A and B are shown apart, each in its own frame.
Chain A
Amino acid sequence: MLTKRIIACLDVRGGRVVKGVQFVDIVDAGDPAELAHRHAAAGADEIVLLDITATHEGRGTLLETVKRTAAKLFVPFTVGGGVRSADDAAAVFNAGADKVSINSAAIARPELIGEIGGSFGAQAVIVAIDARRGPGGVTDAEVYVSGGRKATGLRVVEWAREAEARGAGEILLTSMDTDGMRGGFDCELTAAVSAAVQIPVIASGGAGTAAHFASVFAEGKADAALAASIFHFGVTDSRALKEELQRAGVSVRLPC
C-alpha cells in the first residue's frame, strides 16, 4: 500500500541548519549532513534541504553541503533555494540531489519547470508555493516569493494548476500563516490544492503534533507532509511520529 510520506526539512544558511518562525527569528540547529542522516535513520521518508540565503557567493558552499549530505543518504533528497536555471539544477543534481525545488524562479520564468523536467524528468522538479490567505480565506490565497516578502498577485490554486501543466512532478505547499507556529497545517488550503492537481502535494507549515499530520493527510488530502522545527532539538523524531500515526490509522512506512 502506498504510504503517506513524512519529509524532514533542513533550512540551511551558510552551511548550517537554521530554523525560523514565520520566516524570521533564525536559530542554529546543527550540521546538515549529520542531521539528514539522523532523520533518515529515524525513518524520515525523504530529506529536503532548503538554502535560505541562496546568494551567489553561497552557491559553492551549498554544493559542497549537498555533496557531503548525499554521500551516504539512501532516501530521496531534494534541494531548493537559488535554483534559477537548468544549469543551476544540473549542478545540484551532479552534487547528488534527486529533485530540485523551485519557487521564485518558476514564477519569474515558468518555462524553467519544463526545461529542468525535459532534461531530468518531471519527477525531479518540485514547484514550491509559499501561500498566505487573503480576507476571503482559501479561495483568494495568494502566492508569495522572495522568502515570503513579496506578494505576486497570483492565486495559489491557479498557480498550482499551471505548474502541473508545465510539467512539475510535485507541489510543495507552505502556508505562511501557519509556518513555524506548531499549531497545525492549513488543511483547507492543502485540500483545495490537492483537489486541483493530479500530482502529489506536500503540505508544509505548522507541524506540531502527530494529530496535525493525521489531519493534513485525512482532511487536507496531502500525499506527504513536511516538517522542520518539530524534529529539531529532540522534540520528536520520525519513528515516534510514525508509530503514533500508525495507531491513528494512517498508513506509513515504519523503519525496519
Chain B
Amino acid sequence: MIAVIDYKAGNLTSVVKTLTYLGAETLVTQDPEAVHAASKIVLPGVGHFQATALLEQLGITEAVREAIHRGALFLGVCVGLQWLFEGSTEAPGVAGLGHFAGQCEHFPALYDGAELKSPHVGWNSLDTVQEDSRLLRGIRPGGFVYYTHSWRAPVVNATASITNYGGAFTGVVEQENVMGVQFHPEKSAEVGLQVLRNFINI
C-alpha cells in the first residue's frame, strides 16, 4: 500500500492513475496516522512551494520524519522533491523537511550570456545516472523525462541524476529510503513508468 499525500496542491489524478496502472494499491490521504503507518509514501505536487505549509499544519511533516526514520520508502515528485530540501526562495517563510541541505532557487534570468526562458517546460535528458540508484535501475544516461517548473534544487551529494538547464540541477535525489524526482514520472512515457515501477518494486 502506497500512501499518496493529498495537500490540495494541484492534481493528484494522474499520479494515482499511473501507480494503479502499474499494479500498486494506493491510499490518498491527509491523515498523519495513515502516513505514519505506511511502508511507502508518495508526496506529489505541482504548484507553489507555499502549499507545503499545509503539511506542517496537518502534522504530516512529523509523521513523514518518523516514517522515514523507521525505514519507510519516500518519493517526492516535483515540489515534493523540493520539499526534501531546507526550503525554497519561492516561499521563504515555509520550511522544507530539511533532509537534504540547500535551498531551492529560481532559474537564473541569464545563463552563459543568453536569456534563459522559465519555466523550464518540456522533455529534458537525465545527463548522469548514479550507478547504484535503486530508483533509476534500468535507466541509462540520456533518457528523456518531462519537466515543468521554475524553481530547482541544487546538486548535492545525494543527487542521483543531473539535468542541465541554465546549469546543472538535481533531477533525481536518492539517499537510502528517501528519494525525489523533479520531473513528472507519470508524464514521462516509458522512462517515467520505469522509475515508478522501480519504486513500487523496491
C-alpha gap A213/B2 in the complex (Å): 42
Report A184-216 CB contacts with B as 1/0, cut-off 8 Å.
000000000000001110000000000000000
Report B101-137 CB contacts with A as 1/0, cut-off 8 Å.
0000000000000000111111111000000000000
Report A1-39 CB contacts with B as 1/0, cut-off 8 Å.
111110000000000000000000000000000000000
- Please give, as numbers and ranges, the residues of chain A lying within 8 Å of B29 by CB-CB distance: none
Number of interface residues of B (CB under 8 A): 36
C-alpha gap A223/B119 in the complex (Å): 12
Surface stretch bound by A, among B10-18, B58-66, B84-92: B10-18
C-alpha gap A242/B145 in the complex (Å): 16
A170 sits at the interface (CB 8 A): yes
Surface stretch bound by B, among A55-63, A71-79, A150-158, A227-235: A71-79
Say whether B46 contacts A124, CB under 8 Å.
yes
Surface stretch bound by B, among A91-99, A105-113, A130-138, A172-180: A91-99
B26 sits at the interface (CB 8 A): no
Selected contact of A74 from candidates B18, B120, B124, B149, CB within 8 Å: B18
- Please give, as numbers and ranges, the residues of chain A lying within 8 Å of B6 by CB-CB distance: none
- Please give, as numbers and ranges, the residues of chain A lying within 8 Å of B30 by CB-CB distance: none
Who on chain A is nearest to B191 by CB?
A256
Selected contact of B13 from candidates A1, A3, A93, CB within 8 Å: A93
- Please give, as numbers and ranges, the residues of chain B lying within 8 Å of A76 by CB-CB distance: 146, 184, 187
- Please give, as numbers and ranges, the residues of chain A lying within 8 Å of B191 by CB-CB distance: 256
Say whether A2 contacts B143, CB under 8 Å.
no
Who on chain A is nearest to B149 by CB?
A123
Interface of B is mostly: mixed
Who on chain B is nearest to A99 by CB?
B148
A123-B148 CB under 8 A given contacts A1-B164, A96-B13, A198-B117: yes
C-alpha gap A121/B187 in the complex (Å): 16
| Chain A nearest Cβ from B155, distance in angstroms | 17
Say whether A120 contacts B10, CB under 8 Å.
yes
Selected contact of B125 from candidates A1, A96, A123, CB within 8 Å: A1
Say whether A94 contacts B122, CB under 8 Å.
no
Q: Which of B157-194 contact A (CB under 8 A)?
A: 164-165, 184, 186-193
Who on chain A is nearest to B121 by CB?
A200
Report A37-72 CB contacts with B as 1/0, cut-off 8 Å.
000100001000000000000000000000000111
Report B1-45 CB contacts with A as 1/0, cut-off 8 Å.
000000001110110011001000000000000000000000000
C-alpha gap A75/B189 in the complex (Å): 6
Who on chain A is nearest to B109 by CB?
A198
Say whether B122 contacts A2, CB under 8 Å.
yes
Report A212-256 CB contacts with B as 1/0, cut-off 8 Å.
000000000001100000000000000000000000000001011
- Please give, as numbers and ranges, the residues of chain B lying within 8 Å of A123 by CB-CB distance: 46, 119, 121, 148-149
Interface residues on A, range: 20 to 34
Say whether B189 contacts A70, CB under 8 Å.
no
B100 sits at the interface (CB 8 A): no
| Chain B nearest Cβ from A197, distance in angstroms | 9
Selected contact of B46 from candidates A5, A75, A121, CB within 8 Å: A121
| Chain B nearest Cβ from A86, distance in angstroms | 13
- Please give, as numbers and ranges, the residues of chain B lying within 8 Å of A2 by CB-CB distance: 120, 122-124, 165
| Chain B nearest Cβ from A41, distance in angstroms | 9
- Please give, as numbers and ranges, the residues of chain B lying within 8 Å of A93 by CB-CB distance: 11, 13
| Chain B nearest Cβ from A135, distance in angstroms | 32
- Please give, as numbers and ranges, the residues of chain A lying within 8 Å of B189 by CB-CB distance: 40, 74-75, 255
| Chain A nearest Cβ from B120, distance in angstroms | 7
A169 sits at the interface (CB 8 A): yes
11 contacts between A and B (CB under 8 A): A1-B164, A3-B124, A4-B122, A5-B122, A40-B189, A74-B186, A74-B190, A75-B188, A96-B17, A223-B122, A255-B190
* A-B contacts besides A74-B193, A94-B13, A253-B123, 11 pairs, CB < 8 Å: A1-B124, A2-B124, A3-B123, A3-B125, A4-B122, A5-B123, A74-B186, A74-B187, A74-B188, A170-B121, A200-B119
Interface residues, chain A, with chain B CB atoms under 8 Å away: 1-5, 40, 45, 70-72, 74-76, 93-94, 96, 98, 120-124, 169-170, 198-200, 223-224, 253, 255-256
